[in-house]
Structure 1
Amino acid sequence: MEYQDFINAVATRAKVSTDQAATLTGATLEILADRITAGQAEDLAYQLPDELAGHLRRPLGRERATSFGLDEFVRRVGDRPNVDRALAGAAVPAVLTTLREAVTRDEFENAAAQLSKEFWQVIEPVGVGGGRRPGS
């Protein structure tokens, strides 16, 4: 998926402008990189355009994942610079759903396996011909 297609999909899902979608996408991917292992974040980054991949890559020495739930994830996205806190709740599901469409099913499921089940409750169901939720 191309960068602009990703941003447009997030904007449509979150009902925000493309500028807001770009900021919210970057923030969400950065928090996701904190939440999953560095290796898994790198695997996702490898399948994304450079403009998105950089948000998933962590500096050396920050390879461990930090465990926290969906509410904390949304709060952390809302705390990022230039993010409208009120939009974070809509942005997280929009970005995660679009990410699922942008990368291979196996890579997304590997990343999602590191998240609690509550994250799956906010990701839109897979369309016809798509993948499946882990454990289903």
Structure 2
Amino acid sequence: MEYQTFVRGVEERTDLSTAEEADDAIGATLVTLSERIPDETARNLAEQLPHEIGEYLTAADGSTSFGFDEFVARVLEREMVTDVAERETARRHAQAVVAVLLDAVTSRKSDDVLSHLTTDYERLFEGVDPEAVWGPGWRDRLGERG
């Protein structure tokens, strides 16, 4: 998937009206994801993405465990949204970015990401059909190594 296609995909799934806003949401979401998953998993995922997008996944140094609510809070902060009431917007942006990400990478790579997330991250996959991506029983793999 090309960079512009990825950005347009995020724009189409959100209320964002410019490529710059979509890129901000992409960066905020993927840098946060890179903080949550192991470095090797992030690098493997980045290899399947355009350089401009993949570099967001290699921004973190090491991973830490934090839940979905903290994930959204970090996306909100990175998008530099000052109104905490916009938490729902940050969640929708993150979900849109992840939906496009899942379209852009192989299911094997995305399955590795899934295995490093805990069950509360199920909310991150609203707007996509996880069974189509990972098959039946995908929920069972959440939290295995999270």
- Normalising to structure 2: TM-score of the pair? 0.80
Q: 1:77 aligns with which of 53, 59, 75?
A: 75
Give the aligned residue type for 1:36.
I
Residue in 2 that maps onto 1:113: 115
| Partner Cα distance (2:15, 2:38) in 1 | 30
Q: Give the direction of change, closer, same or farther, for the CA distance of 1:67–1:8 in structure 2 (3 Å limit).
A: same
Query: Where do 1:15-34 residues align within 5 Å?
Result: 15-17=15-17, 18-34=19-35
Aligned pair count reads 131
Residue in 2 that maps onto 1:126: 129
Q: Report if the CA contact (8 A) 1:31-1:77 is conserved.
A: yes
Once the two structures are overlaid, the 10-residue window that deviates more, 15-24 or 117-126, is 117-126
SS in 2 for 1:16: coil
Q: Give the direction of change, closer, same or farther, for the CA distance of 1:114–1:79 in structure 2 (3 Å limit).
A: same
Q: Report if the CA contact (8 A) 1:7-1:22 is conserved.
A: yes
Give the aligned residue type for 1:76.
R
Q: Give the direction of change, closer, same or farther, for the CA distance of 1:79–1:127 in structure 2 (3 Å limit).
A: closer
Residue in 2 that maps onto 1:97: 99
Once the two structures are overlaid, the 10-residue window that deviates more, 44-53 or 82-91, is 82-91
Alpha-carbon displacement from aligned partner over 1:7-38 (angstroms, at most 9, x marks no partner): 11111112212321110101100000000000
Q: CA deviation at 1:127?
A: 8.5
What is the aligned-residue RMSD (CA, Å)? Answer: 2.1
Once the two structures are overlaid, the 10-residue window that deviates more, 3-12 or 42-51, is 3-12
Q: Give the direction of change, closer, same or farther, for the CA distance of 1:34–1:127 in structure 2 (3 Å limit).
A: closer
SS in 2 for 1:122: helix
Q: CA deviation at 1:106?
A: 0.5
| Partner Cα distance (2:72, 2:130) in 1 | 25
Once the two structures are overlaid, the 10-residue window that deviates more, 23-32 or 110-119, is 110-119
Which structure has greater helix proportion? 2
Q: Report if the CA contact (8 A) 1:23-1:83 is conserved.
A: no
Q: Give the direction of change, closer, same or farther, for the CA distance of 1:109–1:127 in structure 2 (3 Å limit).
A: closer
Q: Which runs of 5+ in 2 are unaligned?
A: 142-146
Residue in 1 that maps onto 2:47: 46
Q: Matched residues, percent identical?
A: 33
